[in-house]
């Protein structure tokens, strides 16, 4: 999809479809829709639709008008954005997505979207529009035999005549980079495990790094064993597919020596549960168990192009979790890279094992702040459903950086506790800690396990198990991989940059 910027008056825009947003300025009893852009011709074109109740401003309501009077556009699409008082870049992103998801099945391949008036400014509006368009353009039907290409070919972002084009163009470029990187992550997560083994994931990461100028190192079984990554290897040993340790480095000129941000991702390309095997029902979705690692790869793609002045190292531990005669068993004791002994209670609690070595390795590489992402626990899904992802933190300053990142990313995370009492649940009588702590508080005991391997390093843990895969189509995004985490991780990194 191509995106371009145009500064013009709306009546002069020639396009297959002009998209405008409508806000509800009324109360609960009576909607009062008005366009989010000041244009007399567009307001006049929809006056009958408003009078007839076809346009109400209801969130993500779409109304298509052919041959609108007073406009050169062939069609006018009005997208509702809800109450005017709560209108933000989050609604802009979703409304842009709703517009594309509405137009694509109608075989409309180009459109123009009017930049709405937004309290946080035109730059924010433009960037959010572009992000929303790219996210909406992705469909997961890669391998369908009868697949039809419904992708949008061109989107024109229309700003008011006289706007500062250079400033808005930068915002457009940033939105494109973020949107493309989120979709890159979604493409990885969407791949079946036979088409994205750990080796293939490493190859995809390396090719991405070469394309955007990142340093990339790929290590196999011998190096993993040489570095004494016993927790990581304990998961990998059961599979015929070789594991891969992926290390990506962003080291911009002029960046200070510190901080060094470490991004660590769980890259389980398929999770059977190992000897503690999962139920067959729904196991096909376990190809998504590398979504945390994919989010880190996508985030690094964006970081390389956005060029914040901060050093970043990303580590993805990629393997399968399989049952076999070589697989680890419940009751085994594994020695992590840090030297800590781990009693294996359940082999399906494998994500925390690979992250344990990944987080410790990041510290040995000099990372001063850490963030990890993983589809880690079903317990987090029980706690938060499919609405919010979980976030855990051992450092208030690092967490405040993350809250600022969420203000920009619009992704939904909810903080959960990682108090010392949760560590008590995973103390082992024969080793240092156990890899599970029982049924209760499972998301927090998993976080407490990881906390043991970061020690005093400022750290955030993102449990994205409930939000990395969307079960049903939504107005602004297709069902399938969501790409959650990419936007928030990128924005978190930018909060540490001296050139935001």
- Within this chain, do residues 87 and 229 fall inside the same structural domain, yes or no? no
Q: Taking CA 80 as the corner, what is the angle to CA 75 and CA 82, rounded to the nearest 5 degrees?
A: 170
Where in 288-403 does DSSP place strands (E)? 311-321, 333-335, 341-343, 369-374, 389-393
Q: What is the domain-level CATH number for residue 29?
A: 3.40.220.10
286 three-class SS: helix
- Within this chain, do residues 289 and 347 fall inside the same structural domain, yes or no? yes
- Within this chain, do residues 326 and 452 fall inside the same structural domain, yes or no? yes
Range of the domain at 452: 186-495
Buried b (16+ CB within 10 A) or exposed e, 198-221: bbbbbebbbebbeeeebebebbee
Q: Is the peptide bond before 128 cis (omega within 30 degrees of 0)?
A: no
Buried b (16+ CB within 10 A) or exposed e, 224-238: beebebbbbbbbbbb
Residue 16 phi, psi dihedral angles, 5° rounding: -65, -35
104 three-class SS: helix
Residue 159 tokens, joined: 């700003």
In a domain, 474, yes or no: yes
Residue 153 phi, psi dihedral angles, 5° rounding: -85, -40
| Rounded distance between C-alpha atoms, residue 138 and residue 157, angstroms | 19
Q: Taking CA 498 as the corner, what is the angle to CA 497 and CA 500, rounded to the nearest 5 degrees?
A: 70
| Rounded distance between C-alpha atoms, residue 160 and residue 117, angstroms | 10
- Within this chain, do residues 103 and 201 fall inside the same structural domain, yes or no? no
Task: Identify the pLDDT of residue 500.
Answer: 41
366 three-class SS: coil
- Within this chain, do residues 305 and 238 fall inside the same structural domain, yes or no? yes
| Max intra-chain CA distance, the chain | 79
Boundary of a domain, candidates 159, 194, 211? 159
| Rounded distance between C-alpha atoms, residue 11 and residue 71, angstroms | 4
Task: Identify the pLDDT of residue 28.
Answer: 78
H helical segments located in 19-69: 40-45, 47-51
Boundary of a domain, candidates 124, 159, 194? 159
- Within this chain, do residues 237 and 110 fall inside the same structural domain, yes or no? no
pLDDT by residue for the chain (500 residues), tens only, comes to 999 999 999 999 999 999 999 999 998 789 999 999 999 999 999 999 999 999 999 999 999 999 999 999 999 999 999 999 999 999 999 999 999 999 999 999 999 999 999 999 999 999 999 999 999 999 999 999 999 889 999 999 999 999 999 999 999 999 999 999 999 999 999 999 999 999 999 999 999 999 999 999 999 999 999 999 999 999 999 999 999 999 999 999 999 999 999 999 999 999 999 999 999 999 999 999 999 999 999 999 999 999 999 999 999 999 999 999 999 999 999 999 999 999 999 999 999 999 999 999 999 999 999 999 999 999 999 999 999 999 999 999 999 999 999 999 999 999 999 999 999 999 999 999 999 999 999 999 999 999 999 999 999 999 999 999 999 999 999 999 999 999 999 999 999 996 44
Q: Please name every residue paired with 474 in a beta bridge, in sequence order, or none if there are none.
A: 477
In a domain, 165, yes or no: no
Is residue 89 within 8 A of residue 120, CB to CB? The reply is yes
- Within this chain, do residues 84 and 197 fall inside the same structural domain, yes or no? no
State the DSSP code for 85.
G
Task: Identify the pLDDT of residue 29.
Answer: 80
| H-helix or E-strand spanning residue 293 | helix 291-306
- Within this chain, do residues 416 and 481 fall inside the same structural domain, yes or no? yes
| Number of domain units in the chain | 2
What's the pTM? 0.97
| Rounded distance between C-alpha atoms, residue 388 and residue 494, angstroms | 22
In a domain, 167, yes or no: no
Task: Identify the pLDDT of residue 202.
Answer: 98
Q: Give me the active site residues, please.
A: 278, 352
| Rounded distance between C-alpha atoms, residue 370 and residue 461, angstroms | 8
Q: What is the domain-level CATH number for residue 461?
A: 3.40.630.10
Contacts of 60 (CB under 8 A, 6+ apart): 79, 80, 81, 94, 95, 98, 475, 476
Is residue 424 within 8 A of residue 357, CB to CB? The reply is no
């Amino acid at each position: 999809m191509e995106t371009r910027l145009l500064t013009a008056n709306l009546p002069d825009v020639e396009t297959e479809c002009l998209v405008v947003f409508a806000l509800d300025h009324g109360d609960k009893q009576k909607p009062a829709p008005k366009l989010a852009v000041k244009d007399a011709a567009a307001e006049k074109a929809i006056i009958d639709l408003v009078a007839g109740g076809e346009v109400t401003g209801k969130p993500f309501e779409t109304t298509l008008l052919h041959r609108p009077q007073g406009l050169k556009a062939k069609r006018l699409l009005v997208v509702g954005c809800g109450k005017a008082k709560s209108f933000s870049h989050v609604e802009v992103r979703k409304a842009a997505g709703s517009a594309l998801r509405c137009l694509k099945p109608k075989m409309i391949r180009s459109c123009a979207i009017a930049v709405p008036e937004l309290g946080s400014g035109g730059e924010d509006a433009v960037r959010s529009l572009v992000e929303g368009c790219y996210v909406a353009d992705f469909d997961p039907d890669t391998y369908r035999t009868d697949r039809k290409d419904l992708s949008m070919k061109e989107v024109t972002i229309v700003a008011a005549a006289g706007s500062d084009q250079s400033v808005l163009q930068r915002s457009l470029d940033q939105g494109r980079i973020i949107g493309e990187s989120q979709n890159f992550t979604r493409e990885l997560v969407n791949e079946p495990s036979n088409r994205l083994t750990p080796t293939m994931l490493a190859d995809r990461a390396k090719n991405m790094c070469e394309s955007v100028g990142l340093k990339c190192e790929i290590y196999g079984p011998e190096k993993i064993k040489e570095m004494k990554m016993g927790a990581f290897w304990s998961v990998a040993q059961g599979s015929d597919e070789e594991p891969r340790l992926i290390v990506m480095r962003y080291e911009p000129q002029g960046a200070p020596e510190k901080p060094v941000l470490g991004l660590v991702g769980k890259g389980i390309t398929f999770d059977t549960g190992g000897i503690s095997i999962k139920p067959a029902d729904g196991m096909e979705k376990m190809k998504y168990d590398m979504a945390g690692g994919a989010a880190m790869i996508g985030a690094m793609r964006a970081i390389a192009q956005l060029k914040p002045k901060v050093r970043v190292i990303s580590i993805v531990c990629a393997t399968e979790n399989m049952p076999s005669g070589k697989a680890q068993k419940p009751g085994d004791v594994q020695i992590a890279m840090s030297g800590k002994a781990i009693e294996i209670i359940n082999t399906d609690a494998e994500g925390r094992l690979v992250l344990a070595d990944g987080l410790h390795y990041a510290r040995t590489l000099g990372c001063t702040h850490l963030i990890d992402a993983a589809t880690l626990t079903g317990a987090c899904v029980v706690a938060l459903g499919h609405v919010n992802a979980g976030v855990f933190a051992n450092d208030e300053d690092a967490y405040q950086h993350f809250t600022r990142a969420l203000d920009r990313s619009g992704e939904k995370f909810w903080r959960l506790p990682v108090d010392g009492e949760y560590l008590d649940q995973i103390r082992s009588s024969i080793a240092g800690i156990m890899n599970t702590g029982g049924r209760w508080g499972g998301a927090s005991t998993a976080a407490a396990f990881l906390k043991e391997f970061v020690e005093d390093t400022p750290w955030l843990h993102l449990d994205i198990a409930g939000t990395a895969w969307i079960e049903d189509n939504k107005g602004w995004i297709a069902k399938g991989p969501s790409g959650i985490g990419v936007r928030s991780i990128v924005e978190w990194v930018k909060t540490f940059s001296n050139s935001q």
